[in-house]
Copies of this chain bind each other. A is one copy, B any other.
Amino acid sequence: VSRNRVTLQTIADRLGVSRTTVSNAYNRPDQLAPELREKVPATAAELGYTGPDAAARRLRSGSREAVGLLSTGWLSYAFTDPAAVLFMQGFAGALEREGLGLLMLPGRGYGSVRVPDAIRDAVVAGFCLHSLPAGSEDLDAVVARGLPIVLVDEPRTGAHTFIGIDDEQGARLAAEHLLELGHRRIGAVCFRTTDDDYDGPITAEREAGATYPVSRARLRGWREPLEAAGIPPEDHPRIECAWNSLDAGAAAVRRLLTERPQLTAILFSSDQLALGGRRAARDIGRADVSIVGYDDIPEAAHLWPPLTTIRQDFAELGRRCLTALLGGDDESVSIVPELVVRGTTAPPRA
């Protein structure tokens, strides 16, 4: 991509003034001779000058008008995850009020493309890392930049500002709700626990080895109240989905309900999975199964029956991220989620 060879100097020469004056025409038009105020844009247009070069201005002024965002895996995948989109929305909302741009970095290499290079070359004021697996190499590359960092959802390194939602507490609320309703056989469908594209049952070993803290926390938040209520592990079967999609949720539920028809309720780690799962339950004549989602995406309230779920305040999350990034307010924050009881939970039928 080549740019014009016309620079401030070109305009200055043509006008017989100094470069500084032309620069002022762009940056401080108020303190400029009225005559020049017209002439500068005119000659600029005539000569094909497209305004001060953004990169040069950045170098000189040191200002950075954007913040970098790095998500897990393919960037395009982040857009398919409603919860991720909700987060981006919240973050973008905070940024745009400050006039900042959001630089979304490729989250995954391809061919000769390397993520660390993209990280190294990002002209940004700081980085927000969303849901990176623990021990990610990309995290190291970001840390190497020496810019402000905020980690969202995961991982919690201890070394950097962390902002997240108390996942364990949210899961606990969901599990306790079902328990109070009288359920004793409660399945669960969880989003990836580790970056290995695994779909299938979650054993105790797999839970222990989980590298995604969010999933780990939710699994525990579900499990502990059930254990406390004396429910044996066999009555709390859990399935992992590598993808957060409607299809994945549906497949997990088909499997769960086929292998354990006695289940009366299912917990999900996202509304997306829950919605797909509900659909599958209905299709196999098990509309009676109680369902609790997680996130409270807009569809949750609108579909029929509306989904009981755990609400996460993404707008607040986004705001906090930016504050942490810019204000240097490096206190880590855990936002408390909330149970929203709607139409998909009821006492067990039997």
Contact = CB atoms under 8 A, between A and B. Distances in A.
Contact of A147 (B1, B78, B97): B1
Copy number in this complex?
2
A303 B275 CA distance: 9
A188 to B, nearest CB: 21
A106 B95 contact: yes
Given A95-B75, A144-B50, A55 B123 contact: yes
Nearest to A105: B101
B75 A79 contact: no
A105 to B, nearest CB: 5
Interface in A101-124: 101-111, 113-114, 117-118, 120-124
A307 to B, nearest CB: 13
A124 B102 CA distance: 13
Nearest to A111: B97
A252 to B, nearest CB: 14
B101 A106 contact: yes
A166 to B, nearest CB: 24
A36 interface: no
A89 B79 contact: yes
With most chain B CB atoms within 10 A of its CB, the pick from A108, A125, A304 is A304
Nearest to A304: B279
A250 B114 CA distance: 46
Interface in A244-298: 245-246, 250, 275-276, 279, 282, 298
A121 B123 CA distance: 11
Contacts of A245: 298
A105 B102 CA distance: 7
B101 A54 contact: no
A66 B126 CA distance: 16
6 A-B pairs closest in CB distance? A99-B113, A50-B146, A76-B93, A79-B89, A96-B106, A55-B58
